[in-house]
Structure formats: C-alpha cells, structure tokens
Chain A
Amino acid sequence: GQNIDQPTEMTATEGAIVQINCTYQTSGFNGLFWYQQHAGEAPTFLSYNVLDGLEEKGRFSSFLSRSKGYSYLLLKELQMKDSASYLCAVRATDSWGKFQFGAGTQVVVTP
C-alpha cells in the first residue's frame, strides 16, 4: 500500500521561514514532487527530488532522504502570496509515472 503524510496546516508570519515535512511509505519510488495549489486552482510544480540531498530554487528548497522515506519543503522569506496548500507527491515506478499525492499542508502567512 501507499501512505503519504504531511501536516494539515501551518501558520507563519511574513518574512519568516516554514518547513513542511512529508513522510512516505510506498511500494515503489521514482521521485518526490512538491506542488503549490491555491484554492480553486490547479497545482503548480515547485520542485522534484529523486536523489538524496537538497535542491534549491530561489526561495524554495526541497530535501529528500530515501532511506528515511522523508522529504521537506522549505519556504524562505515568506510572502502573503505564499498562502496556499502544498502537496507532496510520490512518483510510482510504473511505466506511466503515476503520482500519489499527500493530503496537502495549508500554509497561512500572516502579516
């Protein structure tokens, strides 16, 4: 079976840093993805990790430890527009590259 866990909600102030953790237990693993989703909109791609370590893209960084089944998304210098749901997704090893999504973490940025 597949299980992907992430916190339901996190609150942080503008300018701060927030770390969203994601743990997974999946029958196959071929990469972990982070997406941002604003209410009523489609998810937008943020980052992708397939090897252990840290990937940095501007204010967003993502980390992966395959042995621990663990990833985190780090958001720095938070802005009000970063208030959104952040989805962790694991890519399966099937030929189509199907994704299994976590329930999402709602980040609320306060002034």
Chain B
Amino acid sequence: GAVVSQHPSRVICKSGTSVKIECRSLDFQATTMFWYRQFPKQSLMLMATSNEGSKATYEQGVEKDKFLINHASLTLSTLTVTSAHPEDSSFYICSARVNEDRAEQYFGPGTRLTVT
C-alpha cells in the first residue's frame, strides 16, 4: 500500500517552454501532497504544500507564478514549471501522507527535468 507515482520520469525541454509533472496516489486518497526539489548531492528542499480543493502554500523563496500547483482531486496533484530556464533543471519529487493519523510521507519516484 501507499504507492505514489509520478509522470514523466524524465523530461527534456527547451528554455522558455512549460512542463507539467503529475503526482498520483495510487491506492489511497491524499488530501495533502508535497512538492520537493533536489539538486545533485543536496537534500530535498520543500517547495510547496498542495491541498486538495484549495490553493497551494509555497515556501519562502519559491515563485508561485513560476511553479504552478493544482490539486484537483484526492489522488492527483500537478506541478507546472512555466517558462523553464536551465537553472530549473533538477530532480522534482512529490510525496503524500496516507491520512491524518499517519505521520510519514510516501514519495513518488521523482522526475528528472533538464532544460536546454
């Protein structure tokens, strides 16, 4: 149980284009999902908290107009990187909590974004 998927696993795009990453909870409903970014040899940095049916909460320093998050259903959250630049190249990982009683987060397999 508690499986989280991400799509795509890898994407290469040109500078200036937008990329959408999907995060799905496959066998549970997730009212809260989290989006992280990880640069090589660094830890996970929380970008935003995604709540079903409401606006995402962004961490300090993360541009909400650049990283659009939509949590349209209890099993799907999407992250759209708009007008991508090479410095946005990173490993993007989502996670979800199973329910309010379970504290641990389960992570998706990640999406490797390369902007050329």
Contact = CB atoms under 8 A, between A and B. Distances in A.
Interface of A: 30-31, 33, 35, 40-45, 48, 50, 87, 91, 96-104
Contacts of A91: 103
Contacts of B45: 101
Contacts of A45: 104-106
B24 interface: no
Interface residues of B, number: 22
B24 to A, nearest CB: 14
B77 interface: no
Contact of B105 (A40, A41, A99, A103): A99
Interface stretch (B14-22, B62-70, B107-115): B107-115
Contact of B34 (A40, A98, A102): A98
Nearest to A35: B107
Contact of B46 (A35, A98, A102, A104): A98
Nearest to A31: B103
